[in-house]
Amino acid sequence: MYGDNPKSTAQIGGHPIHPMLIPFPITCLVGALVTDILFLRTGDRGFAIASQWLIGFGIGTALLAAAFGLIDYMGDDRIRKLGVALQHMLANVTAVAVSIINFAIRLDDPTDVRSLGVYLSAAVVLILLYSGWLGGHMVYRHRVAVTETPDKFSGYDAASGGDGRA
């Protein structure tokens, strides 16, 4: 039956907040890997400093996105019952923890990327790929936070009460 999907409890105007925020930490943390690689190839200190800033902003925006993700997780029992939701959350917590370590090792010298930093950045990107796949699985497979309404575009037949396909 349509319309009975697990709900996002943190939303603005019916739009879930968590998916609105996740592009920011993803962009920052993937960008940190790119600037790490550019630093290793060019030796330009500016890329190393950019990586440090990107990791810092990535951590901050990830924590903000996580707060709204946790509100959604705690707000609907059907979401908590999904094992994939817990896996998604743990993967994201791991990515943030590794990013915090990555940020900390750069505090004294942002150019200290060669030994460990670039590998931590790469590990974070791999974790984010896995976590993103899990997030997509929740939306597309389990319909988490998907609002379905009968209209001429949805394929649902409003005349039948919205229960069946047109």
Task: Write the pLDDT tens digit of every residue in 37-76.
Answer: 999 999 999 999 999 999 999 999 999 999 988 887 887 7
The structure's pTM equals 0.84
Domain boundaries, given as residue ranges, for the chain: 15-160
Task: Write the pLDDT tens digit of every residue in 17-38.
Answer: 878 898 999 999 999 999 999 9
Residue 166 pLDDT exceeds 50: no
Burial state string for 124-163 with b = 16 or more CB within 10 A and e = fewer than 16: bbebbeebeebbebbeeebbbbbeeebeeeeebeeeeebe
pLDDT greater at residue 51 or residue 10: 51
Name the residue type at position 30: V
